[in-house]
Structure 1
Amino acid sequence: MECEMMTWWGWLLLGLFFLLAEMMTPGGFYLIFFGAGALMVGTLSGLKLTGPEWMEWLLFSVFSIVALLFFRQPLLKRFQSADMGKAIDSLVGETAVALDPIAVDAIGRVELRGAAWSARNVGENPVAKGQRCNVVRVDGLTLSVRGT
């Protein structure tokens, strides 16, 4: 018994499924390339430019993996680094509330935008629990703060 070939519209539906799944998942640009591969094979199949079913699956695999290897990193750099840098930079100048007393040049915890952060007191005076403090710099996941 011979397998029936996957029709061109089946590839297009598979491609749309992968693209929708990419939009629904957090993450790192993986499924979009499989969606693009399926859309490419669907287009070629619709134009009668593919051969047997195994050839369609081979083309799908090659298109998807090549696109993943060559285009994922540039997409990550374009979409994530710009947004992440802006989000971190926007913390500077904000006012946080100390959750712990923080001595000068010591690390404690502060609350900012509803989340607890590690914070280093870079001011000249200790920061008391509940005191407001200004964020002057962000070093990774640690905020540099000064009491107000």
Structure 2
Amino acid sequence: MSHWYWLILGLLLLLGAFHRRWRVLLLLGGGAALLTGLVRFAVPGLPGWAPGALFALLFAVGLALVLTRHRGKGRAAAAAVARRKVDPLVGSEGVTLEALAPGRLGRVELAGESWNARLTTSRPLPAGARVRVERVEGLTVFVSPLR
């Protein structure tokens, strides 16, 4: 394949990067194809397999760089969103949907949603008892009875 194939492929992939969902992959592929085309132009005597191997290598290296740079950022952002959603629950009041016993998992209703709940006191509560959220850990709220 001539260098024009790689250059045109690279431009098409870069143009396709305007599509939001596949932006990173298309940018990586477009950049790798353009570099492959430039190498193919600069070194015309390359064996037939070399441009494809060079493209795959450049794409893999670019992908590895992107992944290592962004490692953990998605998890940190998801954790921040989760904290913003559950932090307002602390101090809010709810109702037990079933009897709660100390050390056992039960269900409470908070702001119209059903949550896993554990008691922070040693006294059991009947279904329908009013409770206050003391803390949130994951998908479980820790509640105490309202006085």
In structure 2, do the counterparts of structure 1 residues 91 and 125 end up closer, same or farther at CA, with 3 Å as the change threshold?
Answer: same
Q: Which runs of 5+ in 1 are unaligned?
A: 22-31
Q: TM-score normalised to the size of structure 1?
A: 0.65
Q: Which runs of 5+ in 2 are unaligned?
A: 42-50
- Please state whether the residue corresponding to 2:99 is helix, strand or coil: coil
Alignment-derived partner of residue 12 in structure 2: 10
Please give the alpha-carbon distance, in whole angstroms, between the structure 2 residues aligned to 1:130 and 1:101: 8
In structure 2, do the counterparts of structure 1 residues 8 and 39 end up closer, same or farther at CA, with 3 Å as the change threshold?
Answer: closer
Alignment-derived partner of residue 81 in structure 1: 79
Deviation (angstroms), 1:124 = 6.0
Aligned residues: 132
Pairing 1:62–2:61 present: yes
Contact 1:126/1:147 (<8 A) preserved? no
Identity of aligned residues (%): 27
Alignment-derived partner of residue 25 in structure 1: none
Alignment-derived partner of residue 145 in structure 2: 147
RMSD over aligned Cα atoms? 3.2
Q: TM-score normalised to the size of structure 2?
A: 0.66
Contact 2:11/2:30 (<8 A) preserved? no
Deviation (angstroms), 1:146 = 1.5
- Please state whether the residue corresponding to 1:51 is helix, strand or coil: helix
Pairing 1:137–2:135 present: yes
Contact 1:15/1:37 (<8 A) preserved? no
Alignment-derived partner of residue 91 in structure 1: 89
Please give the alpha-carbon distance, in whole angstroms, between the structure 2 residues aligned to 1:76 and 1:140: 17
In structure 2, do the counterparts of structure 1 residues 79 and 49 end up closer, same or farther at CA, with 3 Å as the change threshold?
Answer: farther
In structure 2, do the counterparts of structure 1 residues 51 and 114 end up closer, same or farther at CA, with 3 Å as the change threshold?
Answer: farther
**Structure with larger Rg:** 2
Alignment-derived partner of residue 20 in structure 1: 21
Alignment-derived partner of residue 109 in structure 2: 111
Q: Residue by residue, what CA displacement relative to the aligned partner does 1:83-140 show, whole Å, maximum 9, x if unpaired?
A: 2333333321122221101134543111234432221122465433223311101233
Q: Residue by residue, what CA displacement relative to the aligned partner does 1:13-51 show, whole Å, maximum 9, x if unpaired?
A: 44344x425xxxxxxxxxx64244135336xx29x6443
In structure 2, do the counterparts of structure 1 residues 36 and 10 end up closer, same or farther at CA, with 3 Å as the change threshold?
Answer: closer
The AA in structure 1 aligned to 2:116 is S
